[in-house]
Amino acid sequence: MNEDMLLEYEDIEKSFFGVRVLSKVSFALRKGHILGLVGENGAGKSTLVNILGGVISSDAGHIRFQGREYTAASPADAFRQGIGFIHQELNLFTNLDVAENIFIAGFPVRRIACIPWIDARAMRARAEELLGSVGLAIPCDTLVERLSQGERQLVEIAKALRLSARLIILDEPTTSLTARESERLFTLMKELQGRGISMIFISHNLGDVFRLCDDIVVLRDGLVVDAGPVERFSENRVISLMVGRSLDHYYPPRATVPDEEVLLEVSGLSHPGIVEDISLTLRRGEVLGVSGLMGAGRSELARILFGLDPYTRGEISVKGLRMPSGPSRAAIRSGMAFLTENRREEGLLMEASVADNIALVCLPSFTRTPAGLVDSASLKRQVSGAASRLRIRSSSLDRQKVRTLSGGNQQKVVLAKWLLSGPSVFILDEPTRGIDVGAKHEIYKIINDLAGRGAGVLLISSEIEELMGMCDRILVMSAGEITACVERPEYDRERILRFALGRKPV
Amino acid sequence: MIRQGDRLLAFLLRNATAFLFVAAFIAFGVQAPAFLEPANLLNILLQSSSAAITATGMTFVLLAGGIDLSVGSIMFVSAALAGKVVLGGGSLALVIPIVLAVGIACGAINALFTTRLRIQPFIATLAALYMWRGLGLWITRTRAMNLPESLLQVGTARPLGIPAPVFIFCAVLASAHLVLARTPVGRQIYAIGNDREAADKAGIASGRVIAIVYMLSGLCAALGGLVSVAQLGAVSPTFGNQREFAAIAAAVLGGTSLFGGRGRVFPGTVLGAVLIQTVENGLVIINANPYVYPLIMSAIIFVAVFTDSARHARLSRLSRRYIRPWQAAAHRVETANSGEEGKQ
Amino acid sequence: MNPQVEMNRWKRLVVSDYWVLYLSIACFLVLFPFTPRLASIENIRNIFSNMLPLLVVAIGETIVLITGGIDLSVTSVIGLSSVIGASIMSSDQGLLAGNPAAAAAGVAGMILAGVFVGWLNGIAVTRLRMPPFIATLTSMMFFGGLAVWLTQSRPIYDLPARFIELGQGAWLWLPNSLAVAGVTAVFAHVLLSRSLLGRWIYAVGTNPRTSLISGVPVNRVVTFAYAASGGCAAVASVLYTARLETGSPVLGQRILLDVIGATVIGGTSLFGGKGNALWTVFGVSFICLIDNSLNMLGLSYFVVTMVKGGIILFAALVDAARSRILAG
């Protein structure tokens, strides 16, 4: 084993619910180096570092850290072994101050009368030292609640340094930061590097990656497509590696072309902090793609369109009728359907039967009044009709709980549910996430069928290739705005990714 | 953009307890000047000792994100046991440790059910409420126990010139405050109440901390029961009835959140307990219909809980992630600074 | 993953629909040797008559539990309802004293009062976002206090005969109270298993977020559940008041323990999404059986109280275990 190597991954594998997320991942990180980990959404970056951080465990393979075999039973365990993890979602306690957050699991104490008292002076001194080392000039008794996102992140780093971490993982640290805060972070990272601390830097901003990192690892579909010193790469090369020339998925051809009639029209839609000046039209028979990276605001846009979240400016019209601005159920009534990106928490009743799930949206049309009896015979007919049309594989629609279905079948259940309400606009948010290839294909056919029958489909996806195969046009979002609209003739993976990578204002 | 009306409402809600205090003093003082006499005010302090002690214990549990509905029954069962021991000839020096031990034991059982067996706190402590009351009724054979002089001393003694109940209440308050503010366990209680998952991830021994808060609640309940019984001179079968309510009300009125992570014993909970006692005392002095009392109490609790829920809902909304943080930053700073009450 | 989870005999028993029925039978068989009088006709009739009003309240509570909430105010609703009804009907000083429609108006007033309190609970939980247990606990205190204040703690007598018939009388061979309880149970069963509202109630209890996105009017469904619970408590109050022949503000003070115990041990989950009328029937019969047999064994009220507390704990444990087993 190489003495210089701080960290080595050997053939790490991981699967979730039967879907392979990491395959034989191997790479190495030198002491004092910053490693940039890049890849599209779903490439496996977070899973890779979560194994290191003790959040999940690997199925196979070895990790060597500081020359020894490494496993972490929990995040606290990883921390004790010298690995600090700055998550995207910060783990700070907003009701406590900075110093307390830093020392929450290891306060310096003085024993008086057999009771451990917090040694406030020692704590303050050490906290100020740590804050100074990350360049944060705030009093250490400031409540975390009052800090900006950038300041909170620096507190997290200070926390990681408390036990002299040798390796710090930063998972997309700049997404919620202003440009100035990002600069401050980068200066700190260089300084930490000078002190011999290694870092793994996950980011979508290739410019930042090239600035900061000594090495790059490119992940695609859970595989390391290339790794090496940053000099070997160029931004173009990285983009094409990320996007890859994988086996061309066969996307079912469409039988129809979009109509003239406009089903959904959005103009100037804005909500401070979430989306800015969104305008789009969706025609009958059209599949409109929405591309972008995680955190670009696509799901947030979908929620606003469906009426779950409010908006402050702009207009939404379905088939010419204006939609009201507060959270409302008008969306369903006017013929919209929303398949959310997390089917387990928001798309399905996991503990209920398949039949109950499929019936959920269209139930009101099977009875005259809410207290009235449901016409269960005809409901059952409709439900099994939908289930067989979508080819849902289930042993018993009435008795089998949705929880026990495969991911693909679960997604079909959600689609069936919405189909039965006869909508004209479908908003699909990551419909093929976490689903095997065979089921994906079936869902593509269903989407084509929907468009063929005259619905309009808004397809949100992180897989650029999927969008290119399925959509008539692709909108690209970045930081809450639409940065481009790409027509079919201009489809190019790298171009679309570039638009998605975008640029942020100061 | 924060409108003036919103600002005013936020200010009113944040200082609801102080306003209620002022309102109570004015309302009662005007109708019965005797209310404002120093002797009466000292009396209020004396009467609120027991409630303040139990409310302090409840504060610990609420801070960690739990709830303890069995407090009244713990008061009862420990007082019943104390009475039995004293009537059987035991000395005061024997009784006090027994009472405290019973409280801690009951609390430990509550902790067992909520942490190890993972039963929701409200149902586990609701069941405990019935179990301990049943046990207490069995000990006293449902008859009232008149207590001998020795126990009453606790009520009438005046160490350092201060009535014993007030003395004990101050001691409990001071210790609680110190534990919460100056010990690792105390700060970890706040952390667990704020975000249990993050606390577990950070390596805090959450199970152990939660066990401690329930035991402290049991201890305070027993101590509060002792102080109350010493002033009453007897243990009746309904002793401690609905005291958990008063404890929760005092804590929430004092700014402790039912959602965890927020609240202080001093001045918070103490003010809440004294406010409740003030209202009760005032109602008696103006000869109000005794049946009005629960109505007023529940109205006060309602206001307190409503304020808490509203604040919690607002904070959740403010803390969600923004896609365009630079746009949201100004908006957020404005709203955040208008609301919060500083260090916990 | 297998559609049928592999379970050993014990697990399958715990998860079965009828497990409380088995439990009741088991208890009966265990206790019978100690108290042979348990099986006497008169005793069975006694258990039955205690069961019926309790069943009505428990059914309302079941509906609230299925939505994932809880209603602790039912006892106060019973008292308040009783007082309001009696104030309308009483031949002594009631509002409609002597009027032939007094009984009917009284009952209507009682039910209206119950539904109104339930509705207020619903608003507190949905609009004001207060945790259900504290919202209904506060309700309990307030409306209980209100009932006592309205009557200055004095019971109201002289209720019209027609009203008392409702609780004590019979039509042919069928006791009225049995008819009332039976109709309530059947109505609830049909509502929960066959109606749109019933399906919505289960959906909200299983996952409110999914329900909201799927078009279920979550707030209105939850408010309905609390209103139904208040209404059921009021119906039970009719039975209790008729039986006692008195309008009393402390009526029902002692049954909260029984109501919660019966619904939870019957199998209705505290986590929401699970429960039905039949289970509650079994749960109520179990609690009444325990109550009755422990009394026959000569155990005092306090011991019985303790045991019931222990039963709630046991039921909550089983509930948690069932969720774990079914989650695989």
The tens digit of pLDDT for each residue in A355-368 reads 999 999 999 888 88
Distance from C-alpha of C48 to C-alpha of C44, rounded to nearest angstrom? 6
Rounded distance between C-alpha atoms, residue A395 and residue A355, angstroms: 12
Distance between start and end Cα atoms, chain C: 10
What are the backbone dihedrals phi and psi of residue A225, each rounded to the nearest 5 degrees, phi first?
Answer: -85, -30
Task: Name every chain A residue with its beta carbon within 8 A of the beta carbon of C190.
Answer: 373
Q: What percentage of chain A exceeds 70 in pLDDT?
A: 97
pLDDT number for residue A246: 55
pLDDT band at C328 (very low <50, low <70, confident <90, very high): low
Give residues with Cβ within 8 angstroms of C146, minimum separation 6.
Answer: B295, C80
CA distance A293 to A224: 20
pLDDT for A146: 86
Cα angle value A358/A363/A364 (rounded, 5°): 155
Closest to B242 measured CA to CA, from C311, C229, C75, C287: C75
Residue B331 has a pLDDT of 52
**Quick one: pLDDT at residue A384?**
92
Residue B299 has its nearest CB partner, among C131, C142, C320, at C142
Higher per-residue confidence, A93 vs A293? A93
User: In this structure, how many other beta carbons lie within 10 angstroms of the beta carbon of residue C271?
Assistant: 16
Out of A308, A371, A394, closest to residue C213 by CB: A308
Q: Give me the mean pLDDT over the C107-120 stretch.
A: 96
Q: Give the minimum alpha-carbon distance from C212 to chain B in angstroms, rounded to a whole number.
A: 18
Chains that touch C (3 or more CB pairs under 8 A): A, B
Q: What is the pLDDT at residue C3?
A: 42
Contact between C273 and A373 using a beta-carbon 8 Å cutoff: no
Radius of gyration in angstroms for the set of CA atoms belonging to chain B, rounded to a whole number: 21
Residue B334: pLDDT over 60: no
A138 contacts chain C (CB < 8 A):
no
Query: Please, which pLDDT band fits residue A505 given cuts at 50, 70 and 90?
Result: very low
Pull the structure tokens for residue A336: 């919209």
Distance from CA of A203 to the nearest CA of B (A): 16
A169/A172 Cα distance (integer angstroms): 10
- pLDDT over 90 (residue C102): no
User: Residue B106 in contact with residue B128, Cβ under 8 Å?
Assistant: yes
- What are the residues facing A353 on neighbouring strands? A401
Tell me the shortest Cα–Cα distance from C74 to chain A, in angstroms.
23
Within an 8 Å CB–CB cutoff, is residue C129 touching chain B?
A: yes
Are A244 and A251 in contact by the 8 Å Cβ rule? The answer is no
Mean pLDDT, range A299-303, rounded to an integer: 93
In this predicted structure, the answer to whether residue A279 has a pLDDT above a threshold of 80 is: yes
Q: Would the CB atoms of A117 and B183 count as touching at under 8 Å? A: yes
Q: How far does the CA of residue C138 sit from the closest CA of chain B (Å)?
A: 6
- Distance CA(C119)–CA(A134), nearest Å, equals 55
Contacts of C170 (CB under 8 A, 6+ apart): C176
pLDDT tier for residue C7 given thresholds of 50, 70 and 90? low
Residue B57 reports pLDDT greater than 80: yes
More confident residue, A117 or A253: A117
Whole-number Å distance between alpha carbons of B216 and B208:
12
Query: Mean pLDDT over residues A162-179, rounded?
Result: 85
Q: Degrees (nearest 5) of the Cα angle A253, A259, A265?
A: 115
- For residue A114, the SS3 value is coil
Give backbone dihedrals phi and psi of B132, rounded to 5 degrees, phi first: -70, -35
B133 interfacial to chain C (CB closer than 8 Å): yes
Cβ contact (<8 Å) for B198 and A92? yes
How far, in Å, CA of C321 to CA of A326, rounded?
A: 41
Which domains does chain B show, CATH number per domain? 4-339 (1.10.3470)
Asked if the model's pLDDT at residue B245 lies above 90, the reply is no
Give contacts of A107 with chain B, Cβ < 8 Å. Answer: 184, 187
C-alpha pair distances (Å), A188 with each of A27, A191, A297, B65, C266:
25, 5, 29, 37, 60
Answer whether CATH 1.10.3470 is correct for domain C16-27+34-323: yes
Of C242, C267, C284, nearest to C58 by C-alpha is C284
Residues of B in contact with A277 (CB under 8 A): none
Q: What pLDDT is attached to residue A273?
A: 85
Summarize pLDDT for A12-34 with one digit per residue, the tens: 899 877 778 888 899 999 999 99
Distance CA B6, CA A483 (A): 37
User: Which residue among B262, B324, B329 sits closest to A274, beta carbon to beta carbon?
Assistant: B324
* Pick among A90, A97, A104 to test the B interface (most B CBs inside 10 A): A104
User: What gap in Å lies between CA A357 and CA A365, rounded to an integer?
Assistant: 15
CB-CB neighbours of B258 under 10 Å: 22
Tokens of A457: 């489909």
What spatial distance separates the first Cα and last Cα of chain A, rounded to whole Å? Answer: 45
Note whether B203 contacts A107, CB cutoff 8 Å: no
Chains adjacent to A (≥3 CB pairs closer than 8 angstroms): B, C
Model confidence at C149: pLDDT above 50: yes
When pLDDT is averaged across residues A450-457 and rounded to a whole number, the result is 92
Specify the pLDDT at position B255. Answer: 87
Which residues on C lie below 8 Å from A350 (Cβ)?
206-207
Question: In whole angstroms, what is the distance from residue B251 CA to residue B256 CA?
Answer: 5
Chain A residues with CB under 8 Å of B332 CB are: 273
Nearest CB to C144; choose among B119, B131, B294 = B294
Residue A485: in which H helix or E strand, if any?
A: strand A481-487
- What pLDDT was estimated at residue B16? 73
Q: Which of B135, B289, B309 sits opposite C306 (nearest CB)?
A: B135
- CB-neighbour burial class of residue C91 (10 A; exposed 0-12, middle 13-18, buried 19+): middle
CA–CA separation, C121 vs C225, rounded Å?
10
Which residues from C are below 8 Å from A when comparing CB atoms?
1-3, 190-191, 194-197, 199-200, 202-203, 206-207, 209-217, 273-274, 326-328
Report residue B31's pLDDT band, with 50, 70 and 90 as the boundaries. confident
Helix-helix angle A149-161:A179-194, to 10 degrees? 10
Distance from CA of B135 to the nearest CA of C (A): 7
- Give residue B221's pLDDT: 95
Contact state of B292 with C300 under an 8 Å Cβ cutoff: no
For residue range A242-272, list pLDDT tens digits in order: 876 555 567 888 878 888 899 999 999 999 8
- Chains in contact with chain B (at least 3 beta-carbon pairs closer than 8 A): A, C
Higher pLDDT, B286 or B184: B184
Annotate B30-44 with b (16+ C-beta within 10 A) or e (fewer).
Answer: eebeebeeeebeeeb
B56, B222 contact by CB (below 8 A): no
DSSP for B73-93? HHHHHHHHHHHHHHHTT--HH
Give residue C327's pLDDT band: very low, low, confident or very high (50, 70, 90): low
Residue B335 scores a pLDDT above 50: no
Q: What is the mean pLDDT of residues A85-99?
A: 90
Is pTM beyond 0.95 here? no
Tell which residue, B70, B103, B71, B98, has the closest CA to residue B82. Answer: B98
Q: Give the separation between CA C301 and CA C320, rounded to whole angstroms.
A: 29
Tell me which chain A residues have a C-beta less than 8 angstroms from the C-beta of C326.
Answer: 351
CA distances from B115 to B78, B119, B124, B206 (A): 24, 8, 10, 9
- Res C177: pLDDT: 87
- The answer to whether A305 touches A336, Cβ cutoff 8 Å, is yes
CB of B134 within 8 Å of a chain C CB? The answer is: yes
Residue B6 has pLDDT above 70, yes or no: no
- Calculate the average pLDDT of chain A: 88
C27-44 pLDDT tens trace: 778 777 777 777 777 888
Counting Cα atoms < 13 Å in the Cβ hemisphere of C264 gives 32
Q: How many CB atoms are located within 10 Å of the residue A322 CB?
A: 12
Of A370, A396, A417, the CB nearest to C196: A370
Q: What confidence tens digit (pLDDT) does each residue in C156-215 have? A: 887 888 788 777 777 777 888 888 999 999 999 999 999 999 999 999 999 999 999 999
Mutate to test the interface with A, among B323, B326, B334, B338 (most CBs of A within 10 A): B323
d(CA A431, CA A287): 13
Q: Which of A347, A451, A322 is nearest to A403 (CA)?
A: A347
Whether residue A374 and residue C216 make contact (CB cut-off 8 A), yes or no, is: no
- Going by their DSSP bridges, the two strands A34-38 and A83-86 should be labelled as unpaired
**Mind listing the domains of chain A with CATH numbers?**
5-243 (3.40.50.300), 256-335+423-499 (3.40.50.300), 346-421 (no CATH)
Could you tell me the pLDDT band of residue C50, with boundaries at 50, 70 and 90? confident
- Residue A148 in contact with residue A181, Cβ under 8 Å? yes
Considering only CB atoms, which chain B residues are within 8 Å of C323?
none
Which residue of A lies nearest to B63 if distances are taken between CA atoms? A95
The string of pLDDT tens digits covering residues B86-103 is: 888 777 788 889 889 999
Closest C-alpha among A140, A127, A134 to residue A97:
A140
What integer is the mean pLDDT of A373-386? 89
**CA-based nearest residue in chain A for residue C216:** A361
Interface of B with C in 107-126 (CB under 8 A): 113, 117-120, 122-124, 126
Q: What are the C-alpha distances in Å from C29 to residues A177, B343, C10, C25, C289?
A: 69, 61, 19, 6, 11
Does the model's ipTM exceed the 0.90 cut? no
Nearest-CA distance B326 → chain A (Å) = 6
CA distances from B16 to A444, B11, B250, B296, B307 (A): 58, 8, 13, 15, 9
> What is the DSSP secondary-structure string of A24-67?
EEEEEEETT-EEEEE--TTSSHHHHHHHHTTSS--SEEEEEETT
- CB within 8 Å: C273 and A329: no
The answer to whether the CB atoms of C207 and A348 lie below 8 A apart is yes
Instruction: Give contacts of A146 with chain B, Cβ < 8 Å.
Output: 336-337, 340
Instruction: Compute how many other C-beta atoms are within 10 angstroms of the C-beta atom of residue A21.
Output: 21
Do residues A435 and A412 make contact, with C-beta atoms less than 8 angstroms apart? no
Whether the CB-CB separation of B117 and B192 falls below 8 Å is answered with no
Q: How far apart are CA B158 and CA A98, in angstroms?
A: 43
Number of A/C CB contacts below 8 angstroms equals 88
Query: Look-up: residue for tokens 């809980």?
Result: B305
**Is residue A411 very low, low, confident or very high in pLDDT (cuts 50, 70, 90)?**
very high
Q: Which residues pair with A290 in a beta bridge?
A: A460, A475
Question: Closest partner residue to C215 among A329, A370, A394, by Cβ?
Answer: A329
pLDDT value for C224: 97
Strand partners, A28: A8
Beta-carbon separation of A75 and B343 below 8 A: no
If residue C58 lies in a helix (H) or strand (E), which one and from where to where? Answer: helix C41-66
Between chains, do C148 and B128 touch, taking CB under 8 Å as contact? Answer: no
Count the residues in chain B. 344
Altogether, the residues listed in chain C come to a count of: 328
Q: What is the pLDDT of residue A193?
A: 92
The whole-number average pLDDT for the span C306-312 is: 85
